[in-house]
Amino acid sequence: MKSFVDLDGVSLRYGETEGTLALERVNISIKPGEFAAVVGPSGCGKSSLMKLVTGLLPATSGSIRVAGNAVNGPLKIVGMAFQNPTLLPWRNTLSNTMLPLEIVQPHRSRFRSHKQEYVALAEKLLESVGLAGFGDKQPWMLSGGMQQRTSLCRALIHNPELLMLDEPFAALDAFTREELWTVLQDLWLERKFTCILVTHDLREAAYLADVVFVMSARPGRIVATHRIDLPRPRPLDLTFEPKFVEIVQKIRNEIAHARNEIRSAAPQPQKAI
Amino acid sequence: MTSRRRQLEVAMPWLVIVSLVIVWQLVVELFGIAQFVLPAPTAVFSAFMQYREPIIDHALFTLVNTMSGFAVGILVGVFLGIFIGSSRLVYAGLYPLLVGINSVPKAAVVPILVLWMGIGQPPAIATAFLLSFFPIAVNVSTGLATVEPELEDVLRSLGATKLDILRKVGLPRTMPYFFASLKVAITLAFVGAVISETVASNDGIGYLMIQSASQFRVPLMFAGLMVIAAMGIATYSVFAMIEGRLTGWATRRQDTHFGGG
């Protein structure tokens, strides 16, 4: 099957030739409709990877292809969500959710004339994540988990082919986080978009993803790839079963190994900043 | 409880002003201060009543100058702010120059303006403008420059243009900064207009004050001051009211605080 997202020998260096190397010869291939997770120690360039795939940053070398086309500038079909929900405080929940429709074609030009239709669409989406009836609330009236649900809805309202998630649940409490895992899984099973989830939570990665890419510390390289062949939909209880714990342990060991590799390497003179 | 607190909050400014006037009156009478040093509020009031027609004429002249300069200040300030705030290159290039311009005492510029424009209304409007555009430009540019980068990423990955980001996020986000700057700028515009009138005009509160000072009519001077202060407060409250309507989301904490009691 042809891959949907394809990174071939991608390196990224911030600044000129002297600058920090954030990513080194990264190869990643993600099939259409696949759920991929990228895990690694903090500062390994996971977020840089996201910016590269969406075309917000140009790669220093290597090639990036999304949906068969080389990425040369910001993609126009992507939904994004971050650790911070970044909702607009002057818009209510419904109107925050509909923001992409005011920008992405063809919705953009039909937005005014077909407003009712879009409102219904957004309300349905909010309902599916458990936010029925909260459309007219301002963001600050919502809890952190509800804000993050809204942020997910905003990322998905225009039916993007690619969803990029940068530690979307990192700031939430454990119960809310696990609840949102199931919400995200349900949305993905229903809509089958391609998804790249950047996270440092190994259980989160193993629970949600079809394939987990393990990155080394800076400069980030892919040190291992895991296929998670657990049946869907995965119940939350699965995360306490031995086979699941075993997968998580294995990934954890690889990351620990990647960290030690860096530490045991000869101490290089730090670049003055 | 909360409704009584609200009533008190509304009454507070008046209470402060009235008590200040009472203290002022008492101080003048108790210490027998001469009228040409510090006139009592009663003397100021009677001077105002006696000369109310010329005072109001001059005040209107000053008000027109202030508002014209302020209007130009808003236009220039907003465009300059958008221009500076949307590009780091422009920011780096223009900001030092703007700070330099703003550091020049405007009283020193008035003679130059008079040289260029003659006396009366034109230099008064120009001075009001010069004093008022700067805080507006600075605040608008700050509001735009501090848009969260993640939010910008969200929009850019949807294919939003710079103009889209400005319209959907930048400008709404800048509104609280903009209104905060309006409240500063309107008072500065009054200062500018009056400075120019004291130097080069035959009308306006500034002129009235210079004239009455040269004749030692100190109560009349104070009456002029009071009128300017009153106009300043009035325009300030108008903008504060518009601000409350348009940018309530930015001051929500106070509202929820009262509600949460």
Mutate to test the interface with B, among A57, A86, A164 (most CBs of B within 10 A): A86
The average pLDDT across A4-14 equals 87
Of the two residues B6 and A195, the one the predictor is more confident about is A195
The structure tokens 């759920």 sit at A35
Q: Distance between CA A56 and CA A221 in Å, rounded?
A: 20
Of the two residues B182 and B244, the one the predictor is more confident about is B182
Most confident residue range from A15-19, A73-77, B1-5, B257-261: A73-77
Q: Report the percent of chain A where pLDDT is more than 70.
A: 95
Q: Report the percent of chain A where pLDDT is more than 90.
A: 20
pLDDT digits (tens, 9 = 90+) for B212-247: 989 988 999 999 989 989 998 898 888 888 888 887
Residue A254 has pLDDT above 50, yes or no: yes
Residue B28 and residue B45 in one domain: no
**pLDDT (0 to 100) of residue A232:** 85
pLDDT digits (tens, 9 = 90+) for A22-38: 888 888 899 999 999 99
Backbone φ and ψ of A59, nearest 5°: -75, 150
Domain region containing B72: 39-260
pLDDT digits (tens, 9 = 90+) for B40-49: 999 999 999 9
Residue B20 and residue B133 in one domain: no
Partners of B256 on chain A (C-beta within 8 Å) are 140
CB-side neighbour CA atoms (13 Å) of B181: 24
List the alpha helices (DSSP H) in chain A.
46-53, 93-97, 107-110, 115-128, 144-156, 174-191, 202-208, 242-264
Chains A & B: contacts with CB separation below 8 Å: 67
Single-letter residue type at B18: V
Sheet (strand A35-39) strand order: A78-82, A162-166, A194-199, A35-39, A211-215, A222-227
Q: Distance between CA B101 and CA B244 in Å, rounded?
A: 32
Residue B139 and residue B122 in one domain: yes
pLDDT digits (tens, 9 = 90+) for B17-34: 999 999 999 999 999 888
Residue among A82, A86, A104 whose CB faces B158 most closely: A104
Q: What percent of chain A is helix, strand and coil (3-state, nearest 5)?
A: 40, 20, 40
**pLDDT (0 to 100) of residue B70:** 95
Decide if A138 and B150 are in contact by the 8 Å CB cutoff. no
Go through the domains of chain A in sequence order and give each one's CATH number: 34-56+70-77+161-273 (3.40.50.300), 87-158 (no CATH)
The token pair that represents A76 in the structure block: 């126009």
Residue among A76, A89, A140 whose CB faces B158 most closely: A76
- For the entire predicted model, the pTM comes to 0.77
pLDDT band at B255 (very low <50, low <70, confident <90, very high): very low
pLDDT band at B257 (very low <50, low <70, confident <90, very high): very low
Q: Which residue in chain A is spatially nearest to B174 when comparing CA positions?
A: A90
DSSP-derived secondary structure for A123-160: HHHHHHTT-TT-TTS-GGGS-HHHHHHHHHHHHHTT--
Residue B58 and residue B134 in one domain: yes
Residue B8 and residue B128 in one domain: no
**pLDDT (0 to 100) of residue A45:** 80
**pLDDT (0 to 100) of residue A273:** 46
Of the two residues A261 and A128, the one the predictor is more confident about is A128
Partners of A104 on chain B (C-beta within 8 Å) are 158-159
The structure tokens 């939003």 sit at B160
Q: How far apart, in Å, are the Cα atoms of A111 and each of A102, A104, A116, B185?
A: 6, 10, 9, 38
Residue B16 and residue B49 in one domain: no
**pLDDT (0 to 100) of residue B18:** 94
Q: How far is B164 from chain A (nearest CA, A)?
A: 7
Domain count, chain B: 2
Write down the ipTM of this complex: 0.77
The average pLDDT across B39-63 equals 92
Q: Distance between CA B45 and CA B60 in Å, rounded?
A: 19
